[in-house]
Structure 1
Amino acid sequence: MTSTLVPLGLTPDGSVEVPPIEKPKQAGWFQPGPGAGEVGPFVVLGHVDSYTEAGVFYRLRDLRIGDRINVGRRDGSRVTYLVDRIDRVAKNRFPTDAVYGNVTRPEIRLITCGGDFDESRRSYEDNVIVFGHLA
């Protein structure tokens, strides 16, 4: 799982942007939030797949507690996070406060789709969310 990060913001309806589905290997970070290594939740979003290929977070569900997540920064430095937990939650029960809420240390959230694919809605029913802290 390697990708550059594009900045993401909010859509007109107030939901968080996601990288374009036409570029499923591209991840993005929620730019209004803290950057990598800063205090707060550094939130990174990516696709599990597209209609034609696996996405950048296709193997996100394979991470385990204690695994390392390395993030390169613009200044050439690198920060490492350790996975604390992996949750799968229904999209209609997304834990906004747990993902975007204030924390007192540098943390990371990796978010992608998961669970069953609803053909009629052309969307996955759940989100996979990886929570971690700065190593």
Structure 2
Amino acid sequence: MRRTRRVSRTSVTRRVSRTPTRAKGAKGATGTTGAKARTASGTRRRAGNAVIATVTAVALCSGAWLLRNGTASHPPPQPSPAQAAPSRPGADHSAGTGPGTGPGTAALPPSPPDRVRIPAIGVDAPLMGLGLTPQGSLDVPPPGRKNLAGWYEAGTTPGERGTAIVAGHVDNKEGPAVFYELGALSRGRTIEVERRDGSVAVFTVHANEVYDAKDFPDEKVYGPAPRPELRVITCGGKYSKRTGYQGNVVVFAHLTAVR
């Protein structure tokens, strides 16, 4: 397990080094310096979103359970093509303006999230803040706590205008983890995020897609959004005993209610 994480962090460093050009156009950030800023300023906090895609895509995907148990284990479900965002020429799905995304509701002020619930797949988990390690990679939730997810606290808070990021393991060496069933989540289902200010932000899923790591669409997943957006990410795609999962499941959702 330790060996897998070392390899992952090396890969992360290489991919992050290619991110600044995209980040500058999307967020006004200039590489990892913007990603490390953890301030109350919305502009500086959101600067890290362009980096988080590649970091999460690598760090969460060792596939510890399948590596330990081989083909006898059941792989996690993967989203079907029917769950992808509807497409048309010129549609901007990264900004939540493509067809089929549905109406939203007004943005909330910033407030850290404490818990995420996805009733359709039985998720009810606490959230911890995720930052970056000294090497520049995402500090993922402890793999031993399988019912724990994290949110990127240098970025947008869920419910705030922009793109908020939640990530969690698909499994650990003991079995399925918090987002094992994420690939089965269908469009129209809801994701609830309890916030520290006492509100509950309710997001509606408008797409669920899987991507190979080598073709991960950073801008589509982590680009700026004109309304409150949420991305929930775990591992998925093809599986290799040598490298683990070779891609990511990404759920796209937007704020539709507040309780």
Same fold per superposition (TM over 0.5): yes
Q: Among residues 85, 89, 102, which one is paired with 2:211 in the alignment?
A: 89
* Cα distance between partner residues in 2 of 1:64 and 1:28: 22
Q: Which residue matches 1:129?
A: 250
Moved more, 18-27 or 43-52: 18-27
Would you say the 8 A contact 2:162–2:228 is kept in 1? yes
Q: Deviations over 1:67-92 (max 9, x none)?
A: 11111011221010000101100112
- Calculate the aligned-residue CA RMSD, in Å: 1.3
After TM superposition, the score normalised by the length of structure 2 is 0.49
* Cα distance between partner residues in 2 of 1:91 and 1:11: 21
Q: Which residue matches 2:144?
A: 22
* Cα distance between partner residues in 2 of 1:25 and 1:91: 24
Structure 1 residue 101 corresponds to structure 2 residue 220:
no
Q: Which residue matches 1:58?
A: 180
Unaligned 5+ runs, structure 2: 1-122
Q: Which residue matches 1:41?
A: 163
Instruction: Give 1:22 shift.
Output: 1.8
* Cα distance between partner residues in 2 of 1:15 and 1:98: 21
Instruction: Give 1:100 shift.
Output: 2.0
Q: Among residues 226, 238, 250, which one is paired with 1:116 in the alignment?
A: 238
* Cα distance between partner residues in 2 of 1:34 and 1:51: 31
* Cα distance between partner residues in 2 of 1:111 and 1:8: 13
Q: Which amino acid aligns with 1:130?
A: V
Report which of the two structures shows the higher radius of gyration computed on alpha carbons.
Answer: 2
Instruction: Give 1:93 shift.
Output: 1.9
Would you say the 8 A contact 2:126–2:147 is kept in 1? no
Q: Work out the number of aligned pairs and report it.
A: 134
Report which of the two has the higher share of helix. 2
* Cα distance between partner residues in 1 of 2:133 and 2:219: 18
Instruction: Give 1:18 shift.
Output: 2.0
Instruction: Give 1:120 shift.
Output: 1.3
* Cα distance between partner residues in 2 of 1:69 and 1:3: 12
Instruction: Give 1:61 shift.
Output: 0.8
Unaligned 5+ runs, structure 1: none
After TM superposition, the score normalised by the length of structure 1 is 0.92
